Amino acid sequence: MEAFTFETAITVRFAETDAQGVAHNAAYLVWFEVARIDFLARYVQGYKHIQELGYEAVTIETHVRYLQAVHFDDRIVIHARCGDLRGARFSFEYALRRGGELVADGWTRHALLDRTTMRPTRFPDWLAEALDPADGA
Amino acid sequence: MEAFTFETAITVRFAETDAQGVAHNAAYLVWFEVARIDFLARYVQGYKHIQELGYEAVTIETHVRYLQAVHFDDRIVIHARCGDLRGARFSFEYALRRGGELVADGWTRHALLDRTTMRPTRFPDWLAEALDPADGA
Amino acid sequence: MEAFTFETAITVRFAETDAQGVAHNAAYLVWFEVARIDFLARYVQGYKHIQELGYEAVTIETHVRYLQAVHFDDRIVIHARCGDLRGARFSFEYALRRGGELVADGWTRHALLDRTTMRPTRFPDWLAEALDPADGA
Amino acid sequence: MEAFTFETAITVRFAETDAQGVAHNAAYLVWFEVARIDFLARYVQGYKHIQELGYEAVTIETHVRYLQAVHFDDRIVIHARCGDLRGARFSFEYALRRGGELVADGWTRHALLDRTTMRPTRFPDWLAEALDPADGA
């Protein structure tokens, strides 16, 4: 894939830390989701818009690598990109940076469902192109 | 109200702790909810049963007093009781104990809704009596 | 107290919703905390600064009123103010607004501890005045 | 690896569901952790015991596959096993079942640290053998 072109940021909440004094491992999946939502807001008018058009996306696989401990109040920039659209499936990749330092990365895989039947459905072309211009070519 | 007669227990999860080394204040509301669910399972065949009969309950007020710090892996017994059924409203009271020690207490208030209209609805007698025998008398 | 003069904002995360389709009741305590952290960042150089000076603050009581359901992606403005500094204790009040509409409010009470002894300690004057100018007068 | 021989169970909390009506993807990492904690309680006298002996374990990688949607109040049996002890690293594998049905699986990788230096440290033999008898042979 090409370089990450989308980014958003979060600040680590106190509630996201644990008794080891660092952000809990499950919080990263919430941050990945925040990045996906922001990504969809920028490129396809938001997740709600996708729902209104009759689609739902579900998460089918997640992967996180924790490279450096992250602490309360750290500002984390999340770089995200969408790709690998095949049939009803797509994936997101993420890189989390604090200052210039890579502190974590990972990816998630998803399936696009028809909201009426809740069964996997092929991407409409406009959505495939909006999410991954390279793929739609 | 009479003494607490219902109890359930949770063990503090590592994910529920924060960087102060204690359970985070928001976790207590989750534990209160666990106790409500267990209470409803015992006395009215579960929350799902209430939903199937056409009702939904929403939380309209919560209150917690944190008396002693609670730590990872602590076993907490939650004493709960239901009361104050008036019109569409009801409340729960909670006392959290570790060993014999009271570590927190609180209460929550709820409204019973009709699932179709999502508007407040009066308690059916059978439910009022099951939740608070003293009130139904 | 005087009118709320401090405000910050959050956007409801998907992870903060529950199967009723609204933000879960425990999420509000996390948002209150986000507002406290932002408040302390503005008025006393941040919570970390307070810790470096030898203090720790713990939450001893929380109260929330849920007035209107809040949904995924709603932007919520949190108005917060600090007050009631007495001895080692202080409180925060919160009002949550979506557009102009009040959707929830509440308050939290806290104790200031000496980080070395972890026992309650009186507010230093500079901190009392920074948090609540009216009180320090 | 040999078949899973350890199992523990959780019941899906209402707070763990999201607006899609299913358990949120981040909750699975919390459940994995609950299973690790229970595993350590059974085989090495608990995580606190490991800490008291001067060790800390940190999570360095997580992976989850979501195979079937999981709902509020579902009882999930978590099968877990530990393995791949090499130097300071070890991993856990998990299989989540509802009734007889596999609903999710995954694995996590961890590093063992010396609590004083917070640097990776080799497993003491007794711990390696307790966690993974096959490896200690």
Q: Look up the ipTM and state it.
A: 0.94
Task: Evaluate if residue D5 carries a pLDDT over 90.
Answer: no
Residues of C whose CB is below 8 A from D12: none
What is the mean pLDDT of the segment spanning B103-131?
92
Give the rounded percent of residues in chain A with a pLDDT score beyond 70. 94
Task: Evaluate if residue C137 carries a pLDDT over 60.
Answer: no
Task: Evaluate if residue D136 carries a pLDDT over 50.
Answer: no
Q: Do D17 and C21 touch (CB under 8 A)?
A: no
Q: Given pLDDT bands bounded at 50, 70 and 90, which one contains residue B133?
A: low
Which among A72, A83, A101, A73 is positioned nearest to A36, based on CA atoms? A83
Write down the mean pLDDT value for chain D.
92
Chain C residue with the nearest C-alpha to that of B57: C20
C-alpha distance from D16 to closest chain C C-alpha (Å)? 7
Distance, CA of B22 to CA of B71 (rounded, Å) = 5
What is the mean pLDDT of the segment spanning A35-50?
93
Which residues 58-77 on chain B approach chain C with CB closer than 8 angstroms? Answer: 58-67, 69
- Type of residue numbered C104: A
pLDDT digit string, tens, across residues C98-113? 999 999 999 999 999 9
pLDDT digit string, tens, across residues C115-136? 999 999 998 888 888 887 655 4
Tokens of D94: 């998990």
Distance, CA of D27 to CA of D22 (rounded, Å) = 11
Which among B83, B91, B86, B89 is positioned nearest to B130, based on CA atoms? B83
Give the rounded percent of residues in chain D with a pLDDT score beyond 70. 94
Task: Evaluate if residue A12 carries a pLDDT over 80.
Answer: yes
CB of B29 less than 8 A from some CB of A: no
What is the mean pLDDT of the segment spanning D120-132?
87
pLDDT digit string, tens, across residues B29-59? 999 999 999 999 999 999 989 999 999 999 9
Supply the pLDDT for residue A130: 85
Q: Which of C12, C13, C22, C24 to mutate to test the interface with D (most CBs of D within 10 A)?
A: C24
Task: Evaluate if residue C83 carries a pLDDT over 90.
Answer: no
What is the mean pLDDT of the segment spanning C89-94?
96
For chain B, the helix, strand and coil percentages under 3-state DSSP, each to the nearest 5: 30, 40, 30
Task: Evaluate if residue B1 carries a pLDDT over 60.
Answer: no
Q: Which residues pair with D86 in a beta bridge?
A: D89
User: What number of other Cβ atoms are within 10 A of residue A8's Cβ?
Assistant: 18
Q: Given pLDDT bands bounded at 50, 70 and 90, which one contains residue B83?
A: confident
Q: Given pLDDT bands bounded at 50, 70 and 90, which one contains residue A1?
A: very low
Entry pTM: 0.95
Supply the pLDDT for residue C133: 64
What is the mean pLDDT of the segment spanning A75-93?
93
What is the mean pLDDT of the segment spanning D108-132?
91
Asked if residues A16 and A81 have their Cβ atoms less than 8 Å apart, the reply is: no
Supply the pLDDT for residue A135: 54
What is the mean pLDDT of the segment spanning C63-71?
98
Distance, CA of A113 to CA of A110 (rounded, Å) = 10
The string of DSSP codes covering B25-71 is TTHHHHHHHHHHHHHHHHHHS-HHHHHHTTEEEEEEEEEEEE-S---
Higher pLDDT, A2 or B81: B81
Alpha-carbon dihedral sign for residues D90, D98, D6, B8: positive
A87: phi then psi, degrees, rounded to nearest 5: 60, -120
Q: Which residues pair with C111 in a beta bridge?
A: C58, C89
Distance, CA of B88 to CA of B100 (rounded, Å) = 35
Tokens of B1: 């109200």
Which among A113, A111, A39 is positioned nearest to A82, based on CA atoms? A39
Write down the mean pLDDT value for chain C.
92
Distance, CA of C118 to CA of B78 (rounded, Å) = 27
Supply the pLDDT for residue A134: 59
Tokens of C123: 């507010």
Distance, CA of D118 to CA of D114 (rounded, Å) = 5
